[in-house]
Copies of this chain bind each other. A is one copy, B any other.
Amino acid sequence: MIERKQEVRLRPVSFGGAMRIRRSETIASLIQRELEGMIISGEIGAGDHLNEAALSERFEVSRGPIREACRGLERSGLIRIVANHGAFVREMNAEEALELYDIRAALFGLAGKLLASRVSPLEIRRLSALVEEMEGTVDTDDINAFYPLNVEFHTLLVKGSENEHLINLVPTIDKQLHLFRRRGLVQPGKMRASNEEHKAILAAVSARDAAQAGALMEQHILAGKGRLLARLAEQQGAASGT
């Protein structure tokens, strides 16, 4: 009997082994994060069916934690669960993505208002530094450097709102948008225009002009929606033209 216990200790490490170390996190939550990464990265494609038994075997855990992880993933909007049919990676069409852009714009507008009304000198300095860094990447047309800075800038803007619910909600929307397009829609040619908008936002925030900051941030996101629309029209035109 004791030997059997040792067998358990020696069983293939994977997730079961990780749990021996830190019990503060549950296996289900670890798997949830793992699956989330696989979905965001595209390793599991849109519409794919998540087979509980297969995942259970892959992660070397029973189906219980898998099921709980899926329920959590449904919360993020990354999968949808149909009774007696299981979990499917959500398919995001253009229409849905445009809807999410509208919501994202409204939330960023709110973030802008809140941020401008309570921004600290430190935050202004950090935002300024990011805008300057981005300006450098614009000059060298280095979109791979621009992208993470852009994400950090936006994250900082939302965090600065100090509205915890907003800070939680925005990434949820963002993850869902990632389902539609892998990478951001910042095209090489649009980097300069984008950073000009950043400068305007920074100016309004620094001036503590809540209304202006909110309006600019909303427009900034809607500009992204516009670029998506343009791309879609372009693709459709190219498709029907061929």
Interface of A toward B, CB cutoff 8 Å: 23-26, 29, 64, 67-68, 71-72, 74-75, 83-84, 96, 99-100, 102-103, 105-107, 109-110, 114, 163-166, 169
Contact = CB atoms under 8 A, between A and B. Distances in A.
Contacts of A29: 83
A64 to B, nearest CB: 7
Nearest to A166: B103
Nearest to A114: B102
Contact of A110 (B64, B102, B169): B102
3 nearest A-B residue pairs (beta carbon): A75-B75, A71-B71, A106-B110
Contacts of A64: 64
A112 to B, nearest CB: 10
Nearest to A95: B164
A25 B83 contact: yes
A102 B163 contact: yes
A167 to B, nearest CB: 10
A48 to B, nearest CB: 21
A166 B25 CA distance: 32
A90 B95 CA distance: 34
Nearest to A214: B106
A23 B84 contact: yes
Contacts of A74: 72, 75
15 contacts: A23-B83, A26-B83, A26-B84, A68-B68, A68-B71, A71-B71, A71-B72, A72-B74, A96-B165, A99-B165, A103-B107, A103-B110, A103-B165, A103-B166, A106-B110
B99 A164 contact: yes
A144 B42 CA distance: 51
A43 to B, nearest CB: 23
Contacts of A166: 99, 102-103
Nearest to A111: B106
